[in-house]
Structure 1
Amino acid sequence: MKKNIIPVISWILALWACNIFLSSLPYKFSNHPDTVHIFSTIGSWLQGFLGDNLGGLFARYGAYGVGSFELLTSLTLLSPALFWLLGRMAPDLKLPSRRLMHRIGGAMASMVMGGAVFFHLASPLGVEVLHEGKGDGGSLFYAAVSILVSGIILFLINRKPGAAAE
């Protein structure tokens, strides 16, 4: 039973993270006003710690960097489907396992969302992002927390068998 349930849970968590990451890409890569507000707020806050140059770079280019990492994470999490298809067409190919790719993708997802959760809690951005007099009800923060937790779970459940005893 456990052998069958782990891949199902793993795919559900991977697809949830990919849904959030991929649906946010148009905002991150198009200088959407909400994205500009978020990264400008964090960039301004970072200027107090890292100086004007680094804070300004984050404000201007942070969305592209985060979006690119989220795209790479999504490709990593979805790659087992492609590897399965390739393995069916060429059975002799040595391809990475679903477990390995979901473990790596889980670590990547939890890293990027750990950063998002940190900035929501530590910077002036806050849990509820307020922009032009409207708030998001905390939806960005709660999505980040859900992917942070999902990524940690993906990492843990896709360990090598018997790794829990180590």
Structure 2
Amino acid sequence: MNCHLRTYAPIAYSLVASAVFLDSLRFKFTNAPETQTIFGKLDAWASGFGAEGLFAQTGLFSQYVIGSAELVASSLLLASLVPALKRLRVLGALIAVAVLSGAVNFHLFTPLGIDPNNAGGGLFAMAVVVWLCSIAMLVAGRGVLIELGRAVARVLLPSRALSPGGPALTPARS
């Protein structure tokens, strides 16, 4: 049973999360009324503290930016179904956690609310399910995540800082 869960849960997660993200793209990329309502409410809220346009169509967190992140996440998750590329699932899950952490928090802690379009709250429910599953995938793939962190650190930090006897986080001198 446990073996089957370890084998099929990541596949099911990748398929479900990708389906949720890809389904939402038709709303975000076509500027559907539901999307206008959601991002309009968020932009009005942000305007209240001087960040007008943050969620507008050309804003930093516009429907197109969020939709693009969801497209990249779903692409990575679907690519991870190829056995040689299964490590991409962690990157897809990392992007999913980032996007959905924002979504869940904005639904809970802004005037957006859990059911902004009066459609029964299904959008929020799916966001929470995929968010929790994405966190579970990160926990399950923590070894790959740590490996990725080390690879990024090797690129961004000087080689001396990573050597066992070298000083920690000392900038390189030129």
TM-score bracket for this pair, using the shorter chain length = 0.7 to 0.9
Question: Which residue identity does 1:157 align to in structure 2?
Answer: A
Alignment of 1:4-153 (within 5 A): 4-52=4-52, 56-61=53-58, 62-81=62-81, 83-84=82-83, 97-98=85-86, 100-130=87-117, 135-153=118-136
Higher relative contact order (CA 8 A, sep 6+): 1
Aligned partners of 2:77, 2:96: CA distance in 1, in Å?
Answer: 9
Aligned partners of 1:37, 1:78: CA distance in 2, in Å?
Answer: 30
SS of structure 2 residue aligned to 1:49: coil
Aligned partners of 1:118, 1:32: CA distance in 2, in Å?
Answer: 22
Aligned partners of 2:131, 2:54: CA distance in 1, in Å?
Answer: 25
Q: TM-score normalized by structure 1?
A: 0.77
Q: TM-score normalized by structure 2?
A: 0.74
8 Å Cα contact 1:6-1:157 kept in structure 2: no
SS of structure 1 residue aligned to 2:120: coil
What is the aligned-residue identity percentage? 35
SS of structure 1 residue aligned to 2:114: coil
Cα distance, 1:58 vs structure 2: 1.5
Question: Which residue identity does 1:108 align to in structure 2?
Answer: I
Question: Which residue identity does 1:149 align to in structure 2?
Answer: L
Question: Which residue identity does 1:103 align to in structure 2?
Answer: V
Q: Which runs of 5+ in 2 are unaligned?
A: 147-174
RMSD: 2.0
